[in-house]
């Protein structure tokens, strides 16, 4: 058994809470001072993720997106978030979230995305309000034709906007990165999530290939990375990953 506190402190060493944006709520959502045989990793804390954690008798969920984001004024049985909180408390499950802190951290969301896409990191894409790096400007080892580029992304079920062109220099930002469009338009392509129709129009007007990888897909690769780090650090700890993709396939 491993102490919940030790696991959380390890995650904090990877993605320190001081790196989060001012509007964020990274950190402990629920905390119980106890041991756990394992930890459940997820992007989002859903009812099914809590159920899976209970089934495995784990006492800690590590999520990317905070379960409690906006100010919570009441907990009322029969409401979705309230029911999740009640169930987690009843089963003494701690929940810790590393959100924008993990976006900015070295080895975090964007590093994992670059590794998955086999992109070489060249420089930061931009900075959040906190002053920490958000996204990267990267490049492929050799330039890809548009058809080669599209083929390399096919398995991710992406949507592509803008203009087709040869791709060498690529901006990436996991999650929602359109705030960094001005920086990204200096590249041949921009890979991010949560792309809207008029974002595609902007890409067309700026001769950019814009790839909507989806918020979930562009962030999920960090979970495997965290799993390896946790298993290496805590020899007797079990680590599972719970899906929380809301898209119906």
- Per-residue confidence (pLDDT) for residue 33, from 0 to 100: 98
Q: Which two tokens stand for residue 47?
A: 């009812």
> Is residue 173 within 8 Å of residue 125, measured between CB atoms?
yes
* Residue 81, token pair as written in the block: 């978030």
Cα separation, 227 vs 236, whole angstroms: 13
Using N-to-C axis directions, what is the helix angle for 80-90 and 47-55, rounded to 10°? 10
Q: Confidence class of residue 152 from pLDDT cuts 50, 70 and 90?
A: very high
pTM above 0.85, yes or no: yes
pLDDT at 249 over 80: no
What percentage of the chain exceeds 90 in pLDDT?
A: 96
Q: Are 237 and 11 in contact (CB under 8 A)?
A: no
Per-residue pLDDT, 177 = 96
* Mean predicted lDDT score pLDDT of the chain: 97
Region 192-220: mean pLDDT is 97
Closest by alpha carbon to 223, among 202, 196, 242? 242
The per-residue DSSP string of 151-191 comes to: HHTGGGT-EEEE----EEEEEEEEEE-GGGHHHHTTSSEEE
1 vs 4: CA distance, rounded Å: 9
- pLDDT bin (cut points 50, 70, 90) of residue 248 is confident
Quick one: average pLDDT of 113-136? Answer: 97
Query: In which band, very low, low, confident or very high, does the pLDDT at 230 lie, cut at 50, 70 and 90?
Result: very high
Residue 245: predicted pLDDT: 87
Residue 71: pLDDT band with limits 50, 70, 90: confident
Question: Given pLDDT bands bounded at 50, 70 and 90, which one contains residue 46?
Answer: very high
């Amino acid at each position: 058994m491993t102490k919940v506190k030790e696991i959380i402190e390890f995650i904090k060493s990877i993605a320190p809470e001081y790196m989060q944006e001012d509007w964020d709520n990274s950190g402990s959502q629920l905390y119980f001072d106890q041991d756990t045989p394992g930890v459940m990793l997820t992007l989002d804390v859903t009812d099914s993720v809590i159920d899976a954690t209970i089934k495995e008798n784990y006492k800690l969920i590590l999520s990317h997106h905070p379960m409690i984001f906006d100010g919570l004024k009441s907990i009322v049985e029969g409401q979705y978030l309230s029911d999740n909180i009640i169930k987690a408390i009843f089963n003494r499950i701690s929940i810790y979230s590393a959100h924008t802190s993990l976006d900015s951290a070295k080895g975090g969301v964007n590093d994992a995305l670059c590794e998955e896409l086999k992109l070489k990191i060249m420089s930061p894409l931009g900075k959040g309000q906190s002053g920490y790096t958000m996204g990267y400007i990267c490049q492929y080892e050799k330039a890809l034709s548009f058809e080669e580029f599209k083929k390399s992304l096919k398995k991710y079920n992406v949507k592509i906007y803008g203009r087709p062109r040869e791709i060498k220099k690529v901006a990436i930002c996991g999650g929602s990165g359109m705030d960094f469009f001005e920086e990204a338009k200096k590249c041949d392509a921009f890979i991010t999530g949560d792309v809207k129709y008029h974002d595609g129009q902007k890409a067309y007007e700026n001769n950019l290939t814009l790839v909507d990888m989806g918020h979930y897909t562009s962030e999920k690769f960090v979970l495997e990375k965290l799993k390896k780090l946790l298993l290496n650090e805590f020899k007797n700890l079990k680590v599972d990953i719970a899906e929380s993709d809301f898209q119906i396939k």
